Amino acid sequence: MVKTTSTTPSAAALILAGGSGTRLWPRSTDERPKPFLALGGGKSLLAETFDRAAELAGPDGVFLSARVSHEELIRRELPALPEGRLVLEPERRNTAPAIALSALAVEEVRPGATLVVLPSDQGVRDPKAFSSALTRAVEAARSGEVFVTLGVPPTRPETGYGYLETAPDDAGEPVRRVVRFVEKPPLEAAERYVRSGNFYWNAGIFAFRIPVLFSAMEELCPEILAAARDAHAARKAGDAAGFAAAFARAPKLSIDYAVMEKARDVRTVPADCGWSDLGSWEAVHDFRAKDAAGNASEGNATLIGSSGSLVLASGRPVVVIGLEGVVVVDSPAGLLVSRKGASDDLRRFVEKEIAKGKPA
Amino acid sequence: MVKTTSTTPSAAALILAGGSGTRLWPRSTDERPKPFLALGGGKSLLAETFDRAAELAGPDGVFLSARVSHEELIRRELPALPEGRLVLEPERRNTAPAIALSALAVEEVRPGATLVVLPSDQGVRDPKAFSSALTRAVEAARSGEVFVTLGVPPTRPETGYGYLETAPDDAGEPVRRVVRFVEKPPLEAAERYVRSGNFYWNAGIFAFRIPVLFSAMEELCPEILAAARDAHAARKAGDAAGFAAAFARAPKLSIDYAVMEKARDVRTVPADCGWSDLGSWEAVHDFRAKDAAGNASEGNATLIGSSGSLVLASGRPVVVIGLEGVVVVDSPAGLLVSRKGASDDLRRFVEKEIAKGKPA
């Protein structure tokens, strides 16, 4: 047994160390996917997520769910990760199976714990506000049969995100009831959501007591929980083949689709904390500190007569002259020079040309 | 004595293998200056110049004037260069001393030869027209006490070039009399020159009989010729220190300033041959073959929704999305991303940041 020294004894955190990003080529690659990049300008997103999780649950209350193939990358990025905290999936089967398998591992170390799930590829500009919101979510989850999400007040009519709709009658409350999950809305709907004050971006961050997750899964997606239980037992018995075979039986479903959207009681803690999914170079530009001309740059970059641009150098000097609103990203894997707002073109190019023939 | 097998027995060519280009960073560097780059898209500019020179004078009728420090680069670029054809200067002292020293070396191998001087950092899109014009210049020079330049009909009011003014009375003749050299004119003057039909760009290419050069130098710049003669004698005697000391006494003057502008009889052969000085990335873009969208690219470059641009990749994939009229040059020394027409900003940046502390 591992001795635990967490700051909130009954809380644990589960970091989903997946995430990729065809919109973040050439930095994000199969060999070094998004969580391992320092997109916010400091540490890697994974290391920053670990720090935020450790503040809540203590360093040994932090668990990671990751692909087997990323084990080495993770151990290099988080050398101080305590023993037994890395839950490796034999293959990617979306978030519901991964969370079920990990929750079984957490349950052994911290039985009955309240667990917070955190994606590892996001940025937070105001860690203090984020931390308060997370603590509030854990407290709300601890009280009953409930899933408590973090809700980010939308600042623009983003059509690429999921939204949480809350009931108008608890506006202004620190915890609000979620009445509906909305996936990537059309622009007009998104504009309405931003104006309404009752919609939040779904950051994919949520807290629950582990028994609450298991009983919801037994009701809503029993085959996922059964597959996870079999896989967990096989792993404990040292049966690698049985582990892989059992996990492969779990349907590939997201936790939102398999559980959250159907759960009886879902709430949200509004969290105005400078959250970003850092899902494109435009989002990275928005997230970063900028100079008076609206430029964000990194490394040996010189901008002359240029504005509103993101320039990430990588060793060699990069010089940008006379341009407005461009993204320049230098990387060993390649070089991107793009007008801002063309991330769909980039995604299509990467899917077609760079990632072709590679498994997802 | 070297056996000569040239196609035009009494002609020889002298390539000035100098030239740099702060406007061509990051490709042009101190370690690999402009003549060694394949800016036209084929061989290096030096190798292409050598081919043009060899067509006129035969491979062993081609001489090169170069800096000592570039000897290795040149031998690697022109491995078939015959013995005794490389005239190394101990230091850069502009073109007049370099040409005098080289002419003395040529004179020993091809006494009384008609010599054509060719810069090594230019491009020619129509080698056939260039070759005819050069042959015509040699023929005109062979006949008397005359310097015969190549005159490029101007296609735009370029303010960065020198112009040759010819007498209006021989318009249309294959060889015209030069009445004046004009250095980098203001825009209004340049516009007038383009309209007049009597002005040509001075490409720095000219032919003369060697005795004509020497007698003109004796009259117009005797100290240059004297220093070159002393340096030549010292080198033949194996006296390296004496060679360097003598050459160092030659005033640093260009051949145009020291001789051509003051010579009694200068003529020009109009040469409409797609000549370019390739002096900036804009000039390189103009010079190159372009696709329907006006893009010129090289290497592993992908242009999406982009037009009027020059994109030179270098190994790694380069992707340019949604941009118009940009220059993207990837190179081990650095990366340039620029609006077209900003080459003065580039020059200032390179002089200040890249070349600082380095000898010219």
Q: Please write the tens of the pLDDT for every residue from B78-133.
A: 998 888 899 999 998 999 999 999 999 999 999 989 999 999 999 999 999 999 99
pLDDT in tens, B229-271: 999 999 999 999 999 999 999 999 999 999 999 999 999 999 9
Q: Answer whether A319 sits within 8 Å of B336, measured CB to CB.
A: yes
pLDDT in tens, B218-229: 999 999 999 999
Residue range A248-257, pLDDT digits in tens: 999 999 999 9
Distance from CA of A298 to the nearest CA of B (A): 14
User: Is the pLDDT at B358 greater than 80, yes or no?
Assistant: no
pLDDT for the residue numbered A4: 41
The pairing of strands A301-304 and A318-321 is parallel
Q: Which of A317, A311, A319, A335 is nearest to B23 (CA)?
A: A319
What Rg, from alpha-carbon coordinates, does chain B have? 21
Which residue of A lies nearest to B337 if distances are taken between CA atoms?
A320
Rg (alpha carbons) of chain A, rounded to whole number:
21
Low-confidence ranges of chain A (pLDDT < 70): 1-9, 19, 355-360
Q: Chain A residues contacting B, CB < 8 Å?
A: 25-26, 302, 304-305, 313, 316-323, 326, 328, 330, 332-339, 341-342, 345-346, 349, 353-354
**b/e code A28-58 from CB counts within 10 Å (16+ = b):** bbeebbbbbbebbeeebbbebbbebbbbbbb
Residue B314 has pLDDT above 50, yes or no: yes
Decide if B323 and A338 are in contact by the 8 Å CB cutoff.
yes
Q: Are A176 and A267 in contact (CB under 8 A)?
A: yes
Residues of B in contact with A341 (CB under 8 A): 322
Ranges of each domain in chain A = 11-276, 281-340
Tell me what the pLDDT averaged over chain A comes to: 92
Q: How far is A316 from chain B (nearest CA, A)?
A: 5
* A345 → closest Cβ in B305, B336, B341: B305
**CA distances in angstroms from A248 to A69, A223, B245, B260, listed in the order given:** 16, 11, 82, 84
Query: Tens of pLDDT along B141-173?
Result: 998 899 999 999 999 999 989 999 999 999 999
pLDDT for A117-164, tens place per residue?
999 999 999 999 999 999 999 999 998 899 999 999 999 999 989 999
Chain A positions in Cβ-Cβ contact with residue B346 (cut-off 8 Å): 319, 321
Distance CA B110, CA B65 (A): 16
- What is the percent of chain A with per-residue pLDDT over 70, rounded to a whole number? 95
Kindly report the CATH number that applies to the domain delimited by B11-276: 3.90.550.10
Residue A113, min C-alpha distance to chain B (Å): 48
Lowest mean pLDDT among A96-105, B2-11, B279-288: B2-11
Q: How many C-beta atoms surround the C-beta of residue B152 within 10 A?
A: 27
Cβ of B345 and A321 within 8 Å? Answer: yes
Distance from A288 to chain B by nearest Cα, in Å? 21
This prediction has a pTM of: 0.89
Residue A188 burial (10 A CB sphere; 0-12, 13-18, 19+): exposed
CB contact under 8 Å between A302 and B333, yes or no, is no
Judge: B342–A320 Cβ closer than 8 Å, yes or no: no
Banded model confidence at residue B281, pLDDT cuts 50, 70, 90: very high
Burial class (CB in 10 A: 0-12, 13-18, 19+), A291: exposed
Cβ contacts of B326 on chain A, cutoff 8 Å: 323, 337
| CA-wise closest residue to A149 among A123, A116, A195, A171 | A116
Could B323 and A304 be called an inter-chain contact, meaning their C-beta atoms sit closer than 8 Å?
A: no
With a pLDDT cut of 70, the percent of chain B lying above it is 95
Which residue matches tokens 């983003």? A158
Which of B321, B326, B344 is best to mutate for the A interface (most A CBs within 10 A)? B321
* pLDDT score of B355: 65
Inter-chain residue contact B337 with A317, CB threshold 8 Å: no
- Between B359 and B165, the more confident residue is B165
Query: Which of A26, A321, A338 lies closest to B338 in CB terms?
Result: A321
